[in-house]
Amino acid sequence: MQVDLHTHTTASDGELAPEALLTLQAAAGTALVAITDHDTLAGWDALQATVMVARDRPRVLPGIEFSVTAQQREVHVVGLGFEPSHPQLREVVVLQQSRRRERAERIAERLEHLGVRGALEGAEQLAAGAGIGRPHFARFLVASGRVRTVDEAFHRYLGRGRPAAVRIEWPPLHEVIDRIHVAEGRAVLAHPHAYRLSHRRLHALAAEFRAAGGDALEVAMPGLAVDQLGSLARLARELRLRASAGSDFHRPDAWNLPSRIPPLPSGLDAIWDEWV
């Protein structure tokens, strides 16, 4: 069964609206999709408000991608299949949004010191009602001619250790996993390879995730080399974590498309089995 359990829409830093994402997923043959926007359920909420033709549309599972702290760094946890109206889950979402708002204000102050005017308003306009993320600042820096590409904006201004990077205290891993569980969802450690950790450190992170009650590792993602896929699969088996699959889709003209998600390596329990 073809699934994509990690995607973004205009509700955070993706470029397609939720309905357009589902159309793209249907064309790619996805049967089950989770919209996992950064720290928000606005995409899910928007879908509930629309009357879509249910035919030829993938099933949608409630989802979210939380920013958390683990091993003294920022890590992402994808929550799946929870009760989307659960008050204890909604409470974290509201808190995360206020953390993001505060960070956005501080990023704009930094940029102001660097001679970039009007960044908060600019990013806000580009976010068009979504919570402001660094990509919105990056797009503003491109639009105002400061840099040529979003990537350059991260390299020169917004990335780790750059002059407009603002460190933020995301909640501890176990706290967020607990909330996902209280709402009857499952917690997935997102894109483990993206943290660029040594094998030993990645093992420590995955073990902390497991000890905090985490359910699955994201294993099948586009762009992984064969040995990376194999080593994530081994890690999941070793720690008795289940496995998830997702593209981390943000926009149609990128390389990480749903059609590029590789099949799950053998000997793993698919996290989505409980929803199909």
Question: Of the two residues 37 and 215, which places its CB atom closer to Mn ion in the complex?
Answer: 37
Helix (H/G/I), strand (E/B), else coil: 60: strand
Helix (H/G/I), strand (E/B), else coil: 211: helix
Using CB atoms, what's the residue nearest to Mn ion?
Answer: 76
C-alpha–C-alpha distance, residues 35 and 64, integer Å: 7
C-alpha–C-alpha distance, residues 156 and 105, integer Å: 19
Tell me how far, at minimum, the Cβ of 57 lies from ligand AMP, in Å: 25
Question: Of the two residues 76 and 186, which places its CB atom closer to Mn ion in the complex?
Answer: 76
**Angle formed by the axes of helices 87-113 and 173-182, to 10°?**
140
Instruction: Assess 150 for contact with ligand AMP (CB under 6 A).
Output: yes
Instruction: Assess 37 for contact with ligand AMP (CB under 6 A).
Output: no
C-alpha–C-alpha distance, residues 236 and 20, integer Å: 33
Q: State which of residues 32, 62, 76, 215 lies at the interface with Mn ion (CB under 5 A).
A: 76
Q: State which of residues 31, 250, 260, 269 lies at the interface with ligand AMP (CB under 6 A).
A: 250
**Angle formed by the axes of helices 42-49 and 18-28, to 10°?**
90
Tell me how far, at minimum, the Cβ of 159 lies from ligand AMP, in Å: 6
Binders of Mn ion among residues 135 to 194 (CB under 5 A) are 190
Question: Of the two residues 2 and 125, which places its CB atom closer to ligand AMP in the complex?
Answer: 125
Question: Of the two residues 150 and 204, which places its CB atom closer to ligand AMP in the complex?
Answer: 150
Report whether 77 contacts 187 (CB < 8 A): yes
The residue among 121, 118, 117, 159 whose CA lies nearest residue 138 is: 159
Instruction: Assess 274 for contact with ligand AMP (CB under 6 A).
Output: no
Binders of ligand AMP among residues 56 to 115 (CB under 6 A) are 67
Binders of Mn ion among residues 232 to 261 (CB under 5 A) are 248
C-alpha–C-alpha distance, residues 97 and 83, integer Å: 19
Residues in touch with ligand AMP (CB under 6 A): 13, 38, 67, 133-135, 150-151, 154, 159, 250
